[in-house]
């Protein structure tokens, strides 16, 4: 990508954020087909919402994403889409999740969001890439 800026009619933006959220109770349920499907759903959401994945990882009990997003979308709206749609689809497609998570609450209520202006993008990219190298975590990369 030669020009990382997003051009609008009267705007030039580069809004990037590092997002992290965890499965409720930190259950290690994002494995195998569930992990792959979660990855697919997140990619579909990003395509539909004009959000670019710069780097990301679906780990066994949490998700890291470094994204670039349009100014019309707030971080809270993006997180609402990510968590709501993945929760809905995963619980519909994998009945064992519906049994474990009563009340349709798949993700923890909390999430972390960091504007990446405070750290270099390279630092975030390396941190997320390191999720793959963790000895007790088989992260599936979002790339």
* Element of type H or E holding 53: strand 52-58
Predicted confidence (pLDDT) per residue in 32-61, tens digit? 999 999 999 999 999 999 999 999 999 999
Closest C-alpha to 12, from 78, 66, 71: 71
Topology (CATH) of 12-141: Alpha-Beta Plaits (3.30.70)
Q: By the 8 A CB rule, do 108 and 23 touch? A: yes
Residue of 25, 101, 111, 127 with catalytic role: 127
DSSP string across 23-45: EGGG-----HHHHHHHHHHHHHH
- The question of whether 127 is a catalytic residue gets the answer yes
Domain extent listing, the chain: 12-141
Predicted confidence (pLDDT) per residue in 83-117, tens digit? 999 999 999 999 999 888 877 889 999 999 999 87
Q: How confident is the model at residue 1 (pLDDT cuts 50, 70, 90)?
A: very low
């Amino acid at each position: 990508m030669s020009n990382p800026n997003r051009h609008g009619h009267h705007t030039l933006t580069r809004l990037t954020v590092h997002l992290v959220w965890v499965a409720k109770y930190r259950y290690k349920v994002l494995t195998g087909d569930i992990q792959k499907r979660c990855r697919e759903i997140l990619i579909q959401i990003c395509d539909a919402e004009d959000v670019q994945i710069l780097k990301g990882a679906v780990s066994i009990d949490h998700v890291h994403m470094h994204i670039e997003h349009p100014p019309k979308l707030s971080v809270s709206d993006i997180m609402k889409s990510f968590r709501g749609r993945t929760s809905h689809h995963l619980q519909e497609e994998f009945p064992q999740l519906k049994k474990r998570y009563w009340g349709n609450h798949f993700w923890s209520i909390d999430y972390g969001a960091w504007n990446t202006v405070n750290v270099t993008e390279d630092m975030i990219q390396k941190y997320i890439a390191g999720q793959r190298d963790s000895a007790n975590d088989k992260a599936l990369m979002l790339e």
